[in-house]
Chain A
Amino acid sequence: MANLRRICEQELAGQYALEIIDVLENPQLAEDEKILATPTLIKQLPPPLRRVIGDLSDTEKVLLGLEVRPQASAQTPPRDS
């Protein structure tokens, strides 16, 4: 959680909306979203839908996965919300 807040603040300051759900309290939501692992980070917008599981300690991988930072060889400019 600390990792997530740090990443959000550092990389996406002011450009994000974050909702935190406790699956133990709301298992039906986990069922609907077909979530297996905790913690799971779901990036709903902008598309494409992406999921990152784990404590997000590997910041580079998180950013790569969320496509909020240009990949080394990628042509597309960074997209953010």
Chain B
Amino acid sequence: MRVNHRNSDGLKLTLALPGRLLIPLIAAMTFLAALTLSGAYASHQLAQRWSKGATSTLILQILPNMETFPIFNHPGELTNGNLLQEKINSVISVLSSSSELESFHHLTPEEINSLLFPWLHEDIQKLALPLPEIIEIHLKKGNTLSIKFEEKIKELVPDIVIEKNNFWEQRLNSLADSLQTCSLLSLMLVFLIAGSVIALSTKTGLIQCKQTIEILHNMGASDPYICTRFAKRNAFLALVGGLIGSLCSLPFILFFIYICLPFSSNPNGQQLLEQSWLYFFSILPYSLLGLLTFLPICNYVIGWTSTTIIVFYWLRQLS
């Protein structure tokens, strides 16, 4: 008679550490972690984009000569607008020859009108306002305006106003930093709870297997052997829970992408709202997908580590 013998040591860990308890709890924790991580990722990306936009765009305001304006001057001297045009021309010539710029655009009166209309509710042509000439500058990627260039422009037009957006960049950066810190704290809390749940489950399993462990220990089973047996089981359950949690979070993340489309950099954001779910899945950033894949691995490591620590110290107390 041929008998198949299981390679078992009597530690019934499937009974002592049941997956039906641990897997749903770990899955819920991973789900929360995935959403937190996605939120942090989105805020980081958004802040980065805004920040990039703010630092790379500058506004030059060339003020009209107040003395040429009818209110402040004599009516006969109105023709002195040539001075302003000269200033504009000299600035544009400097801008055209600069290698620091990606592009620049001199705003037309219509464009200024459309910009100000929501505030003034009136056509600026009908209002006698001393509006400056505006030139929008786009710096090359990652560049900031050099002091040399700034000095050159100011030398040509001393009363020019260079409006930098550093203030907004700082604000956006602090907003992004605070959001990311909150996410990091939430993640740490989630991992801490996951670790505690695993530790508690391990303790229960150890109490259940106490007699068997004592026999094994007395037969010469080493501490690392028993630790590894428990750690393997719990790490596996944590991994399964992590995978389930990560997968469950995907539809929610896709939904968030859907509702955040109006904030996207894509100019056709509104049209994309009618795309299928598959499309949203395809535009998921790889780095975010990588983070979601990383979560179950994190769970595996947490499961392994917390179980090993608990079993190790429990065995020390045992004998």
Q: Say whether A and B bind each other.
A: no
